[in-house]
Amino acid sequence: MTRPAAIPTVQIDNDTVKVTEWRFPPGGETGWHRHGMNYVVVPQTSGPLLLETPDGEVTSQLTAGVSYFRPVGVEHNVINPSKESEFVFVEVEIK
């Protein structure tokens, strides 16, 4: 199954941080990736995201405005499981 790609828009990229807005169309995904930096995610919408991980699938319920931190090395594919709604978050990578 082919999913539409999530759309990243880099807002800031300097010596300290990289800030990217991610927009996931319904069914959209990032593709498998490994994080090279510690990062904070700030959801702009509320709802579930499906994470494909090396240990299996996990569903995370996110709430707009409620941030969370993840350490360097996290590996996953992030998927918007909604068939109707876009999902948006801002990712702040700490260099």
Cβ neighbours of 34 (radius 10 Å): 9
> In this structure, what token pair is assigned to residue 11?
């807002």
Q: How many helices (H) and strands (E) does the chain have?
A: 0, 9
Element holding 34 (H helix, E strand): strand 33-34
Cα dihedral 53, 57, 63, 64 in deg (nearest 10)? 50
> pLDDT tens across 50-59, in order?
999 999 999 9
The angle formed by the CA atoms of residues 85, 50 and 95, to the nearest 5 degrees, is: 100
Tell me the domains of the chain and their CATH numbers: 7-94 (2.60.120.10)
Mean pLDDT rounded to a whole number for the chain: 97
Percent of the chain with pLDDT over 70: 99
CA atoms of 4 and 16, how far apart (whole Å): 31
pLDDT tens column, 53-88 = 999 999 999 999 999 999 999 999 999 999 999 999
Q: What is the pLDDT of residue 38?
A: 98
1 pLDDT above the threshold of 90: no
